[in-house]
Structure 1
Amino acid sequence: MIPVSVYNAIFLANRVKFGSLEHVVPILLAVVFGIVFINFAKQSLDKQKQKRVLHVFACCISGIVLSFHLYKISLGHYNIKTDLPLYLCSMLALLVPVFTYYRKFWMFEILLFWIIAATTQGVLTPDIPEGFPSFDYFRYWVVHLGLLIIITYAIFVYRMRPKFKSVFKSFVALQIYVVLIMLMNDVLDANYFYLNEKPESASLLDYFGEWPLYIVVVQLLAIPYFLLIYSSFFWFKKRFK
């Protein structure tokens, strides 16, 4: 049997490190792909095909998430208390095909802030237990970077723009989602979103006090964060008006 200290050392050694090739290369590839994908759609496709290719892309992202969970179930150690796709990015990946199919503005209002806020930290500080070429590695980057490409596509191809009230619509929707996760945690005796206790490892939540104070602090920080995201659209609108 492998000693715990040795197992932890191996586990940490396999994690994707900040600034490594495993971290930087996927981001660069996604930037190149996103630029080519969006420019091709704008210049070479009619509106119907623009909608179709994005919907297919979104379905591929959702399919990869579903495949990953089915793969984990097949291994025989799937734990519904920790492994369900209830974390925001995974849930968004499953739901985003609904947006790309219907293209409702109210969906865009919510998804814009959720996607940018949720994926930015994941892209800048990846939390991937196993590096290249594991399934989890590819799932992680496809989900985080794919969601960003989809919302960027909606901005530049569909020319969707948030309104000031979109900030608060998205925030209210987030509160509803948090309440649903709290109920799910109660049913499953789980800790999704760390709503029942902070993670054992060091995290930013350590600076926000004990439960439930850190939950309140994070919720309050979401409003200025969403406003910061909106300010970039407001600035560009005023700058190029």
Structure 2
Amino acid sequence: MQILSRVQFGSLEHLLPIIVAVILCWFLFYQIKTQSDHLKFKVFKGLGIFVSGFMAIFHLYKIGQGGYSLQTDLPLFLCSFMALFIFIFTFTRRFLLFEILFFWTIVGTSQGVITPDIELGFPSYDYIRYWIVHLGLLTIIAYAIVVLKMRPKFKSVFKSFVVLQVYVLIIMVINYLLDANYSYLNNKPLSGSVLDLLGDWPNYVIVVQLALLPLFLLIYLPFFWSNKYYKTKNNNNNIY
């Protein structure tokens, strides 16, 4: 009988899902770019249904198996929370939701992809859930940018940051009431992450909070340059 162990950084279990997701995304974006807007929107909705639906089924399955823990199993980690409700964004295409989710996904989800925290490797349900959640969220945001041409604005940086502070405060209260560690606000992940470079609790929480706004601004910078370039180009064309 195979004994499943924690997924190690740089292992095949870590890298293979990422490589497969990149190839599938490239193929999807290449094929969909010439299709009608109606089909583009249907595919976008389908991505949201798949990610959110899988999350819902996963948690219902765990509840049905028994032993569901309020301390560890609730979908309150940032990526799990986003995945459970991402279908609302893909169905409504609300720009406010894009503004919030764009920065949360680029910062939080990409960190989870680079340094995965998966207790049991393939083919455990948790392993499959982890990659569907993280790679699914990145795929949806990439689709919104590449296919639907959605772009964050300067104000988006601050909107996303403020809403994130509300989320953090709510999770801190929940952690206190349940003696839990959702979003790693009380302890760092066991598998190791960039948080290990930021000191012990509560130092790493404070450093992350201080770094978030500059990091969001840095992520926005390419879009600022791109918007500025196209605005200048259009103004020059109008002159002639």
TM-score (norm 2): 0.87
What residue in structure 1 maps to residue 25 of structure 2? 34
For structure 1, which segment, 119-128 or 106-115, has the greater mean C-alpha deviation from structure 2 after superposition? 119-128
Aligned length: 228
Q: 1:20 pairs with 8, 11, 15, which one? A: 11
Aligned pair 1:127/2:117, yes or no?
yes
Q: Which residue of the other structure, out of 167, 171, 192, is the alignment partner of 2:182?
A: 192
How far apart are the structure 2 equivalents of 1:148 and 1:105? 17
Task: Give the match for residue 79 of structure 2.
Answer: 89
* Whole-Å separation in 1 of the counterparts to 2:140 and 2:169: 27
Distance 1:239 1:19, change over 3 A: farther
Matched-pair contact (CA < 8 Å) for 1:61–1:146: yes
- Normalization by structure 1: what TM-score? 0.86
Contact 1:42/1:157 (8 A) holds in 2? yes
Question: What RMSD in Å do the two structures reach over aligned CA positions?
Answer: 2.0
1: CA distance, partners of 2:102 / 2:181: 26
Matching residue of 1:79: 69
Q: CA deviation at 1:106?
A: 0.9
Aligned residue in 1 for 2:127: 137
Q: Which residue of 1 aligns with 2:209?
A: 219
How far apart are 1:210 and its partner, in Å? 5.1
1:146-175 CA distance string (max 9 Å, x none) = 111100111111111111111111000100
1:87-121 deviation digits (Å, cap 9, x = unpaired): 00000101110011111111111010001111111
Distance 2:120 2:177 in 1: 30
Q: Identity over aligned residues, as a percent?
A: 54
Equivalent residue letter for 1:27: I
Structure 1 residue 172 and structure 2 residue 162: aligned? yes
Structure 2 partner of 1:155: 145
Cα distance in structure 2, aligned partners of 1:188 and 1:161: 38
- Output the amino acid matched with 1:116: I
C-alpha deviations, 1:113-150, integer Å up to 9, x for none? 00111111111111111111111111111111111110
CA contact 2:106–2:138 (8 Å) conserved in 1 = yes
Pairwise CA distance, 1:75 = 2.5
Long gaps (5+) in structure 1: 1-9
Q: Which amino acid aligns with 1:43?
A: T
